[in-house]
Amino acid sequence: MVLVFNAKKRLTLTAGMAGALAVLLDGCSSTPIAPVPPTGAPPRPPAAGVPAPAAPFDMNMPPPAPREFRAAWVSTVANIDWPSRSNLTMAKQQAEALAILDRAQALNLNAIVLQVRPSADAIYPSELEPWSEFLTGQQGRAPATAWDPLQFWIEQAHARGLELHAWFNPYRARHATAKSPLARNHIGSTNPEVVKSYGRYLWMDPGEAAASQHTLDVVLDVVRRYDIDGVHIDDYFYPYPIDTAASTAGPEGVALDAGVGQKQELEFPDQPSWQHYLLGGGTLDRAGWRRQNVNALIEAMYLGIHKEKSWVRFGISPFGIGRPDRRPAGIVGFSQYDKLYADAELWLDNGWLDYLAPQLYWPVAQAPQAFDVLLDYWLAQNTRARHVWPGLYTSRIDNSAKAFAPEEIVKQIGVTRSRAGVQGHLHFSIAALMDNRKGIADQLRTQTYQTAALAPASPWLGSELPPAPSVAVRREGNGMGLRLSAGPGKPVAHYAIWSRYGSEWRFAVAPASRAVLLLPDDATAGAAQAVVVSAIDRLGNESERISVMR
């Protein structure tokens, strides 16, 4: 795999490169440059597309690496995003996955959040939960051709320089669209006492210790067995209430109504676990007890994930409106604190997550749920300086009465870039980008994501810098060839590469597994006059930079 800059100054990937690269070309030198402070310490590296602050010009020194988490959710439940329908052949499922990953790479995204557990089931081989019917057509039925979809996604994402975050639904046990019966190894079959019927859903009772332990076991099993970059959970804690305006929901986690009005609610059937708590001497009221149940799982997940692998980040994507007693003036709507029993403010305050992705699925101009006001609210709650990367409702670019124009998403990204505490965002979902609805993918590629970007570092998980890479360079017939190798010790995830053509520095990111690169000559400026390379570890820490001068 070779990195090539095209005439539009975007990084592209092409297969193959004739001839192995040898030692440093005569006349070239490799010089260390002082390391750049990790993200979280000043100066803050700019987001790609945002002009860097004015500084004394030094033609031989590249600017800081652009930093911005750019992700898209890939839903497997109800076949929203992948696979397009259940029981496709392995070849077809792989082809669809590769199309998604190729689109993400072409758009200069740097992460995919893949739903691996839609409803207490799995899109990967598991001894704890059955195969998902959304993958094979029947819950518990293995793929006709033996393969591991999650491993495939991870390998192919990493080969393209993309992070892969595994997305779990913590408590949902059966989706309303499910058609096949529960498999024998589904928790609804093996431990039916902890699974409750709620409308058209089955739900694991968060008040049952066995239910929460099962979810924790499933998550940690994936962390141990797979080379994922993050664990991600969504907004489904206790279920959205049935028969309320707040329960009007779109596909997978998208609340379509802010839920100002209320109707008769169906009570969640957790009376047995509630009575058990009271008989054991519990003193909290029922709402407080429910929040405690969820809080205990969140804390256990955060601690358990990092005990297994310190570099795997834990992200939560809650409903976008905060608890009623803290909201800014004029903000109204559904209370996840009172209805889902999700105390996201407490999780931030206690540092039980590495990134918060609040679902800010309303336009900037919708005053009762204004995007910018809600974003500022969550930033104000972020006392532990974790990442806050809002979720954008990109799939609302459709033909509905409340459709977004593509410019709304571009505007919201602009809002995130204007806030000092934000360096990223996530698109729900990849479908809108795959369909290029109303030209949104074109706008993002040409206006918003013109260059690659590194994910921001997470210094609270570790700030030791990786060793600087070794760089070998030689002149090829149509450009400069590089061979990169990581230094000893700390593993490397990516290489950051700057190349200077005249007075212009261009930036690219290459996966550490693809260390043979070609920087082709520019049609106007000729060959690159300088190249600077650094190594990036799994937490986003940047090594000392190595300068290769002609």
Give per-residue pLDDT as tens, 480-528. Answer: 999 999 988 889 999 999 999 999 999 999 999 988 999 999 999 999 9
What pLDDT is attached to residue 32?
A: 56
Instruction: Report whether 392 contacts 36 (CB < 8 A).
Output: no
Same fold, 2-66+465-549 and 69-450: no
DSSP one-letter code for 111: E
Q: Which of 457, 452, 461, 422 is nearest to 540 (CA)?
A: 457
Task: Please give the backbone phi and psi of residue 211, each rounded to the nearest 5 degrees, phi first.
Answer: -70, -50
CATH architecture entry for 2-66+465-549: Sandwich (2.60)
Distance CA 14, CA 28 (A): 26
Instruction: Report whether 216 contacts 297 (CB < 8 A).
Output: yes
Residue 481 neighbours by CB under 8 Å, 6+ apart: 17, 21, 473, 474, 475, 516, 517, 518, 519
Q: Which CATH number fits domain 69-450: 3.20.20.80, 3.40.800.10, 3.40.640.10, 3.40.50.850?
A: 3.20.20.80
pTM for this model (two decimals): 0.90
One-letter identity of residue 420: A
What pLDDT is attached to residue 245?
A: 43
Instruction: Report whether 198 contacts 268 (CB < 8 A).
Output: yes
Identify the three-state secondary structure at position 270: coil
Ranges in the chain, pLDDT < 50? 1-29, 34-43, 51, 53-57, 244-251, 253, 256, 260
Which helix (H) or strand (E) segment holds residue 417: the answer is helix 406-417
Question: Which residue ranges make up each domain of the chain?
Answer: 2-66+465-549, 69-450
Distance CA 466, CA 159 (A): 20
Label residues 441-454 b or e (16+ Cβ within 10 Å = b): bebbbeebbeebbb
Strands 494-501 and 530-536, bridge-based pairing: antiparallel
Sort 424 into a burial class: Cβ within 10 Å, 0-12 / 13-18 / 19+: buried
Q: Between vectors from CA 549 to CA 544 and to CA 550, what angle results, nearest 5°?
A: 165
Q: Which of 250, 524, 449 is nearest to 362 (CA)?
A: 250
* HSE of 459, CA atoms in CB hemisphere, 13 A: 11
